[in-house]
Structures are given as C-alpha cells and as structure tokens.
Amino acid sequence: MGYKLKFENFDKILKELSKENKIYAPKRFPKQGRYSDTDVIRYDKIKELKEIVFDEKSTYAAKEVYQPITETILYFTDGDYKEKKVVDDRPIIIFARACDIHAIQRFDDIYLKNGFEDFYYKRLRDKVKFVLIECPKDGWDTCFCASMGTNKTDDYIFGVKVAGEDVCIELKDEQFAKYFEGEEKIDFNVTFVEQNPRKVRIPDIQSTEIKNKIKTLDMWKEYDKRCLMCGSCTVACSTCTCFTTYDVNYTSDTDAGERRRIAASCHVDGYSDMAGGHSFRKTAGERMRFKVMHKIHDHKSRFKNHNMCVGCGRCDDRCPVFISFSTTVNRLADEVEKLKGEEE
C-alpha cells in the first residue's frame, strides 16, 4: 500500500505521530562540521519534514539515538546508587537508511545476546521503530552495503521518498495506516540499492593457521606511519559499540556524583589498558588489524550470523588522513588468497 502526500500533509502526520512518539532523523547543523564553513549532519529530534536531510548521507550514524555518545547511567551518594530514569518514556521512531537499520542488529548481538542484557541499552532499544529512507540508486561513493548484504531490509513501519513536491510512502506496518487515512493512494514501494560502485571482497578465513598468519602481515605496518589513532572512524561507525565509564564527583569533599558512559575506540590509547599497566595492541597497525578483523570476521564467527560491518562507508568519509577501510578489507582479501595459495 502506498500514498502520495504534499509536504504540509506529511507535517500534519509528523505532528500526530509526535504526540505519542519521539521522532529522530538526520538533521543539518550548519557550520558545525570538522572544517570551517562546513556542516555536520547528525541525528536529532525533528518536527517537520524540511528538517530531515534526505539528499546526503548523515555524517554520524543512527546509533546515537539508542546508544548516545555520552550518557549518565546512575547517580551515587552515601555508598548507595540509583539508576537514571528515562524522563520521556515514549516510543522512538528513527528515520534511517537500510544499512543503519541493519546496524541495530549488531548492537543487539553485543548488548542483548552476549551472555547478559544491558539494562540501559534494552530500555531504549525496546522502544525503537524505523522509518526507511530511500537511498540514491547506487548509494554514495563510499558505500558498499551491497557487498555486506545490508542494502535491503523489511524492518520498517513505512518507507519514505521525497519526489519533487511530494512525499511517497510505502506503508509496511498496518498499525500506522490510521495516520494516512484520506491521503491519495498510489502504487509505491521503496527502491533499494542493488549495487554500489565500490565493491568489497570479504576474505573467507576458515583455518586458524591463516588467522595467525594474518597477525604478522606486513600490510598492517603501513598503518603505523599513517593512522593517527584518533578514533574518528569508530565514532562515526554505524556498528562500533564499545564504551567506557567514568565517575563525576559533584564536589571534592563528598562522595555524591554520577557515573557516565562514553563511546570508546579500539584505535585510541588507553582502550586496552589493564590493571598493572599492561596494554594490548600498542601500535596503530595492530589496532587496525583488530578493528578490521572484528568487522569482517570475528563478530560473525562469534555470533554465527552476519558480519559486523554494514558497509555504510562513514569510516572512509571521516578519516582525516584518507585511510580507506574498504580498500584495507580488499587488500586483506588478496593477502588471504596468497596465504591459501602457499598452503596448497
């Protein structure tokens, strides 16, 4: 079932939806980009269609809605603690692209299916529904969703495409049909990306011997010279889930304060520090290897479902020294083929 609406009618629907839901979408923040006079596009609450950026990929991922970069999780005082309450408990609707919708499954793996359920994640995640935003025909230049199998999804309540002065809707969840009553009915289905110009070959790594040899490949050493270990790629990544915690004491002479968690990055110093001063993966190359293997092998091997990477390409977009994750994966695929050839 599809509908065609004028912008003002869609805004009325957004207004109705907002009475019972919090609505988030990619929004432009002028002149807040990395370089002077550049913008940033990130997720925020929206009220009107014109606030949503449809024609550019967002700088940051939809994950920031259900896993904020920083959040207070509990308050402590006098040896006791209290979890932070969610003040606005309404369901959450997120306008997102197919890759970002797939990304939440990777978060579910880590936060819900990894031997425990993360309380703070679950209480937000249980409220999330998606509105699918149609992508340009081939995505953007750094996208490789088709290689990762994340170019299509059916996990959305309705799909949306802006066509000139109209908004086309593909209704998926009949519970939301009431919002479109009286609107012009049309035949419309969201078109998914079928292929991207950028193709990524995921190496097939079965043997432990090959896995061990990957650790010593010379290709990782190149990143020792290039990678700044800044973590920009992981902050923007749709599927990087790591966080660390720190406590903020309100005054120096009481024990009252709050515990916050904040996004962490395997590229950044301190990530793997242990009690006693030991730390793993000191060089940029070792950290690059760890991230790449995690994204295209280790997660899938652990959870027996899908690779962690969804091919959004934000890591390539954000790296200040133009290190390309997708190129790195293709290089690794070549190296793995060579190693397999040596084994035969």
Smaller CB distance to ligand SF4: residue 23 or 284? 284
* Rounded Cα distance, 13 and 198, in Å: 37
Smallest distance, ligand SF4 to C-beta of residue 294, A: 9
Alpha-carbon distance of 226 to 270, in angstroms, equals 19
Distance CA 61, CA 103 (A): 9
The residue among 167 and 237 lying less far from ligand SF4, judged by its C-beta, is: 237
311, 144 in Cβ contact below 8 A? yes
| Cβ nearer to ligand SF4, comparing 2 with 139 | 139
Instruction: Let me know: does 77 contact 256? Beta carbons within 8 Å.
Output: yes
Q: Amino acid letter at 295?
A: K
State which residue, 175 or 301, has the beta carbon closest to ligand SF4: 301
- Minimum gap (Å) between residue 260 Cβ and ligand SF4: 23
Binding site for ligand SF4 (CB under 6 A): 227-233, 236-239, 267, 295, 309-315, 318-321, 323, 325
Q: Report the helix count and the strand count for the chain, using DSSP H and E.
A: 12, 12
Dist. CA 248–CA 274, nearest whole Å: 21
Quick one: 171 or 312, whose CB is closer to ligand SF4? 312
DSSP helix/strand/coil, 76: strand
- Rounded to the nearest whole angstrom, what is the least distance from the CB of residue 56 to ligand SF4 in the complex? 16
Closest to ligand SF4 by CB, 256 vs 321, is 321
Q: What is the DSSP letter of 279?
A: B
Residues pairing with 273 in the sheet: 279
Task: Tell the smallest beta-carbon distance from residue 341 to ligand SF4 (Å).
Answer: 27
CB of 319 vs ligand SF4, minimal distance in Å: 3
CB count in 10 Å sphere of residue 49: 20
* Shortest spacing between CB 249 and ligand SF4, in angstroms: 31
